[in-house]
Amino acid sequence: MNSRRLIRWLGLSLLVLSSAVPALAQSCALCYTQAASSGTRMIQALQAGILILVIPPTFGSLVVIGILYRKRNHFYQADANNGA
């Protein structure tokens, strides 16, 4: 795959994934009423929990993408040497 094509594909996929799409299937009525009736401490705890559940997988994915990006030429050079 061409590197420019790969970068365009990654950019487009990041744009699509980062766009705010309403998750209509995730609106549980019980969860909504419990969160709406809770105090500020509970709302802050929910926000902190969301961050704790989102940030580590995001950084882990970025690390894996970075490693794969740095090793991309290693595999192409190995194939070129074996084919010649």
Determine, yes or no, domain membership for 56.
Answer: yes
Say how many domains are in the chain. Answer: 1
Is 65 inside a domain boundary? Answer: yes
Domain membership of residue 11 (yes or no) is no
What confidence score (pLDDT) does residue 55 get?
Answer: 92
Residue 73 resides in a domain: yes
Residue type, 2: N
Q: How far apart are the first and last CA of the chain?
A: 20
User: Residue 14: inside a domain, yes or no?
Assistant: no
pLDDT given for residue 43 in this prediction: 82
12 lies in some domain = no
Q: Are 71 and 63 in contact (CB under 8 A)?
A: no
- Write the CA distances from 21 to 17, 43, 54, 77, integer angstroms: 9, 22, 17, 41
Report yes or no on 33 lying in a domain: yes
Of the candidates 69, 3, 74, 71, the residue with the CA atom closest to the CA atom of residue 82: 74
Mind listing the pLDDT tens digit of every residue in the chain (84 residues)? 577 888 888 888 888 777 666 555 566 777 778 777 888 888 888 888 888 999 999 999 999 999 988 888 776 665 666 655
Give the model's pLDDT for residue 70: 87
Instruction: Indicate whether 55 belongs to any domain.
Output: yes
Domain ranges, residue 52: 26-83
